[in-house]
Amino acid sequence: MKKLFTLCLLAGSATASAQSPITITTAQFPATAATVDRFQPATATGLTAPQTGANRTWDYRSLTPQGAVVASPYAAVTGTPPFAGSVRTYTFSLALGPFTIPATAYQGFDAAGFSQLGSALSAQTFPLATITGGPNDVLTIPAQNIVVNTLLVPLPLSSTSRVVRASRVLNNSLLTVQAFGISQAPLRYVQRVTTVDSVAGWGTLRVPVAGTTTGSAAMPVLLVQRRYIEQDSFYLSGQPAPAVLLSALGQTQGSISRSFTQYFYRQNSAQYMLGLSYPDASFGTPTAAAYSAETNLALAATAPREVAAGGLTAWPNPVARGQAPHFSLANVAAGQLLRLTLRDATGRVVSRVVAPNGQPMAWPALPAGLYLAEAEAAGIHASRRVVIE
C-alpha cells in the first residue's frame, strides 16, 4: 500500500446466504518488511460499482487483466528509525512542481491503525535557470524528516467502522530567485489532508486468479470507502508565496485535489483484495481497478475454507515470554505436522519450529513485541500476528 489507489468491474452484487461480518485486527494484518504487495491492473471498460450493504456476494472473476502484475517490495528498518513505531520502509519519488525528490517512506502501527508515518529526505539542490532565467537561481532541499501520520487502514476494522483523520504535512526548502530579490529565503510547502474511511458493506468477494478458470474462493471481506482531500499551500519567509513566483514553479496557491476509492479487505493480508477508483463522491462508475495477485489466492481456489475462515488460529495471544502457545491451521488434520516460521517486525526470520497441528509449540524465549507467524502444512499456508508480552 505504497500509494493511495490510482491505478474496473463487470459484475454486480447479490445477497448471500446468512453469515456474520468479519473483524480485522492488528493480529490479522501482517504488514512486515517481508511483505511484497502484488496487484494486477484490470481494464476499465464496462465496469459498474458494487452494491453496498450487509451480507453481499461480490463476484469479479470476469475482470480482464491489463498489463503485468505490479510487485512492490519493502525493506527492513535499520538502526534507529526517524519515526517511532516503524515496521518497514520503501523508496519513492516526491513531486514538487517540476522536480522529483528521492525519499524514503516509513510505515507502522499506531493507536488508530496502520499508518504512513513519514518520509526522510536527503539534502538536494535543483538549479532554476531554465525556469526563472537567473543563472544562480536555485531551490535547495535540506535534509529533513517529514511527518505524514496518514492513516492507511484503520484497525480494528469492522462492519461499523468510520474514521476521520486530518493531518498537516510540512516540506521545508530554501529559494534563491534573483528577479524577485530573494536569496536563500525559506519556502514552506504545506499539505493539509483530510481522510474519511468508512465501511460501506460486507460479504464475500471473488477475483480472478492467474492460471485457473475458477478464480479465487468466495472470501469474507469488508468494503471500505475512502474520501481523500488535499489542499496545497506555499509560504515564502512566513508569508503566502507570490502567485507569479509559484506559476514559474508550476504551482498554484491553495490548489485542492480529491480522490474517491473503494477497497475490499480480508483477514490475514496487508493488501486489499480489490481496489476501485472513482471520479467523484457519488461512487457511481469506477474508472480504474486492480485486484490482488497474492500467491495464496491461488491456494484459496483449491482450499477455500482455510482462507475464508482466517486460516491460522493462535492461543493464547498475547503469549507470555517463554510460554508454549498452540497453533491450529484450518483444513489440516489434528496432529499433522505443522511448520511454523516466526518473523520479527522487520521481517527477519527469528525461529522455525515444527509441531503437530493444534498442539503446543516449542516456542523460543523471544523479546516482547509483535511477531508474524507463518504456518504451512499439506500445501496450505496462512499467517497471523502474535504478541509476546
Give me the half-sphere count of Cα atoms (radius 13 Å) on the Cβ side of residue 6: 7
User: In 3D, which of 290, 154, 293, 281 has the Cα closest to residue 210?
Assistant: 293
* Residue 113 burial (CB count, 10 A): 20
Under a CB-based contact definition with an 8 Å cutoff, are residues 246 and 233 in contact? no
Q: Are residues 78 and 143 in the same domain?
A: yes
Highest mean pLDDT among 206-215, 312-321, 368-377: 206-215
C-alpha distances in Å from residue 257, one per residue of 18, 194, 254, 298 = 40, 11, 10, 37
- What length does the chain have? 389
pLDDT band at 297 (very low <50, low <70, confident <90, very high): confident
Looking at per-residue pLDDT, the higher value among 359 and 1 belongs to: 359
User: In 3D, which of 357, 364, 302, 360 has the Cα closest to residue 330?
Assistant: 357
What the block records as the C-alpha cell of 267 is 483477514
Among residues of the chain, what percentage have pLDDT more than 90? 56
CATH of the domain at 369: 2.60.40.3080
Question: Mean pLDDT, the chain, as a whole number?
Answer: 86
**What is the CA 304 to chain-centroid distance, rounded?**
24
6 within some domain: no
8 within some domain: no
What the block records as the C-alpha cell of 284 is 457511481
pLDDT at 1: 52
Q: Counting beta carbons within 10 angstroms of the beta carbon of residue 194, is it exposed (0 to 12), middle (13 to 18) or buried (19 or more)?
A: middle
Q: Are residues 194 and 294 in the same domain?
A: yes
Segment 19-46 shows an average pLDDT of: 89
**What is the CA 314 to chain-centroid distance, rounded?**
24
Total domains in the chain come to 2
Q: Are residues 281 and 216 in the same domain?
A: yes
pLDDT at 172: 95
Among 302, 330, 351, the domain-final residue is 302
Q: What is the pLDDT of residues 342-356, one digit of tens each?
A: 888 777 888 888 888
Gap between the Cα atoms of 85 and 102, Å rounded = 22
- The type of residue at 46 is G
**pLDDT higher than 70, residue 296:** no
CA triplet 211, 213, 219: central angle to 5 degrees? 95
Gap between the Cα atoms of 360 and 250, Å rounded = 62
Among 302, 334, 363, the domain-final residue is 302
pLDDT at 42: 97
Q: Are residues 214 and 252 in the same domain?
A: yes
C-alpha distances in Å from residue 131, one per residue of 94, 95, 99, 119, 246 = 19, 16, 11, 27, 11
Q: Are residues 290 and 318 in the same domain?
A: no
pLDDT at 383: 81
- CA torsion sign for 151, 152, 156, 159 is positive
Q: Are residues 114 and 233 in the same domain?
A: yes
Question: Domain containing 72: what range?
Answer: 13-302
376 within some domain: yes
Q: Are residues 295 and 319 in the same domain?
A: no
User: In 3D, which of 166, 151, 163, 161 has the Cα closest to residue 229?
Assistant: 166
Segment 307-320 shows an average pLDDT of: 67
Q: What is the pLDDT of residues 49-94, one digit of tens each?
A: 999 999 999 999 999 999 999 999 999 999 999 999 999 999 999 8
Of the given ranges (229-233, 290-294, 378-382), which has the lowest mean pLDDT? 378-382
Q: Counting beta carbons within 10 angstroms of the beta carbon of residue 124, is it exposed (0 to 12), middle (13 to 18) or buried (19 or more)?
A: middle
Q: What is the pLDDT of residues 137-195, one digit of tens each?
A: 999 999 999 999 889 999 999 999 999 999 999 999 999 999 999 999 999 999 999 99
